[in-house]
Amino acid sequence: MRKSKWVSLFTLGFSASVLLAACGNSEEGADTTDTASSEPAASESASSTSESAASGDQTSTEDFSVVMVTDIGGVDDKSFNQSAWEGLQAWGEENGKEEGVNGYDAIISNNDGELVTNVTTGVNNGFDVVFGIGYKLKNAMQDAANNNPDTLFAIIDDTIEGENTTSMLFADHEAAFLAGVAAAHTTKSNQIGFVGGMEGVVIDRFEAGFIEGVKSVNPEIKVDVQYVGSFDDAALAKSIANGMYSSGVDIIYQAAGNAGNGVFSEARDIVESDPEREIWVIGVDRDQQEEGKITVDGEERDLTLTSTVKGVGTAVQEIANAAMNNEFPANETNVLGLAENGVSLTDGVLSEDALAAVREAEQKIIDGEIEVPETPAE
């Protein structure tokens, strides 16, 4: 029963964030504040919620504090980390908390070598909940959870185990499938690109879903797949995008974190120098419509075709609230997809035909008529 209560709570939260994303993208393209495994579009519990792990000897709600340790890219990456930080800020505002060790805070990871140190810092500073944002935090979070049973640990995009842990996964491949459908209905060159950050289980889901979505519309469309090799090298991502657009690609879906800003930068540069070019970028993790806005000859253009959104910020906000209210979902893993409103695709500037095709595919995925693969075809 507690599992059902937890999933229902998240569904309500995600529904609200998805609604905000849809509204923000119709006129002004405002960013949402609550926006790259297991089986898709399902939720499963590793064990029942443990009251002792959530309540124990915790401090009062007035003293309750939460910290997040970022993946590479910082809280201003306009993507994954920023979504999480916006969710934590929303939690702080909702509960009258101030930024800092007595309320909420973020510890920035500039490279992989800082991950263990940053998680340890969160524990040593006395935060009641430590979030690990991204799969790279898995080992550091698991070790810290094992050694610090009185601290609660929550990871996004991977799983850890223990009565003081909880894990949140997203069916990224489902939203990516919809992005592929949208791209296939928009391309004029029948050449589409995918720029990933680092190869691995998470970005595999984006790549696999996107390609499957494209091919479901037109198997003859060519999809050029390239990886940056990091989530923070925007310059290299920009160079990759330049090569793709030069080869005839007219739409690029980037799932590269902070590096993905390089794809937007290249698209803007190309159109500013050649206003006749019709090229697009598909955003990731949050509504990135603002990143594609440019003004050419006094006229505003929008180069963001659409964005796949995942409710990272809402997950952080709701887990923090649950922990503060002694309802921490201990040793539990939840997977949220289209059916749970955990992931979605914004309307963006899609044509009516493209949007209709997206909605049809979305319903088929929810109904189980389409099963989206999580790994790229060999």
Residue with tokens 């319903």: 363
Query: pLDDT at residue 54 above 50?
Result: no
Q: What is the pLDDT of residues 315-368, one digit of tens each?
A: 999 999 999 999 999 999 999 999 999 999 999 999 999 999 999 999 999 999
pLDDT (tens digit, 9 = 90+) per residue, 167-206?
999 999 999 999 999 999 999 999 999 999 999 999 999 9
What dihedral do alpha carbons 26, 175, 286, 141 form, nearest 10°? 160
* 51 and 198 in a common domain: no
Query: For residue 278, what are the CA distances in angstroms to 31, 186, 191, 249, 267?
Result: 24, 11, 13, 10, 10
Same domain, 158 and 239: no
Contact yes or no for 81/133 (Cβ under 8 A): yes
Written as six digits, the tokens of 28 are 């002004």
Indicate which CATH number applies to the domain containing 15.
3.40.50.2300
Distances (CA, A) of 259 to 224, 252, 297, 376: 18, 13, 28, 21
Q: Is residue 326 part of a domain?
A: yes
With beta carbons less than 8 A apart as the criterion, state whether 119 and 137 touch.
Answer: yes
Instruction: Say if residue 35 is in the same domain as residue 138.
Output: yes
Indicate whether 108 and 29 sit together in one domain: yes
Answer whether residue 351 is part of any domain. no
Q: Is residue 370 part of a domain?
A: no
What range does the domain containing 196 cover? 172-309
In the chain, how many domains are there?
A: 2
pLDDT recorded at residue 357? 98
The percent of residues above 70 in pLDDT, for the chain, comes to 84
Query: Any idea what DSSP says for residue 99?
Result: B
Average pLDDT, the chain: 87
153 three-state secondary structure: strand
* Domain closes at, from 269, 292, 309: 309
Q: How far is CA 368 from CA 124, 207, 211, 339, in A?
A: 46, 20, 19, 10
End position of a domain, from candidates 264, 291, 309:
309
Sign (positive/negative) of CA torsion 37, 39, 43, 46?
Answer: negative
* Helix segments in 125-200, DSSP class H: 138-147, 172-184
In a domain, 283, yes or no: yes
Q: Within this chain, do residues 200 and 278 fall inside the same structural domain, yes or no?
A: yes
Q: What pLDDT, on a 0 to 100 scale, did the predictor assign at position 74? A: 84
Amino acid at 36: A
Query: Is 361:370 a contact under the CB 8 Å cutoff?
Result: yes
Q: What is the pLDDT of residues 17-36, one digit of tens each?
A: 443 333 333 333 333 333 33
- CA angle (76, 202, 266) in 5-degree steps: 50
Element (H, E) at 103: none
> Is it the case that residue 229 has pLDDT exceeding 60?
yes
In a domain? residue 49: yes
Give per-residue burial for 158-168: e unless 16+ CB within 10 Å, then b. bbbebbbbbbb
What pLDDT shows up at residue 61? 79
Which range, 156-160, 293-297, 298-302, is most confident? Answer: 156-160
Residues 122 and 206 in one domain: no
**Could you tell me if residue 345 is inside a domain?**
no
Q: Within 10 Å of residue 96's Cβ, how many Cβ atoms?
A: 9
Nearest to 241 by CA among 303, 287, 285, 188: 303
**CA 370, CA 66: separation in Å to the nearest integer?**
39
Is pLDDT at 116 greater than 70 in this prediction?
yes
Q: Are residues 161 and 269 in the same domain?
A: no
Please check whether residues 36 and 78 belong to one and the same domain: yes
Domain presence at residue 377: no
- Tell me, yes or no, whether 113 and 218 share the same domain: no
Is 140 domain-assigned? yes
25 plus 93 within the same structural domain: yes
* pLDDT for the residue 378: 54
- pTM as predicted: 0.83
Whether residues 42 and 185 share a domain: the answer is no
Domain co-membership, 60 together with 138: yes
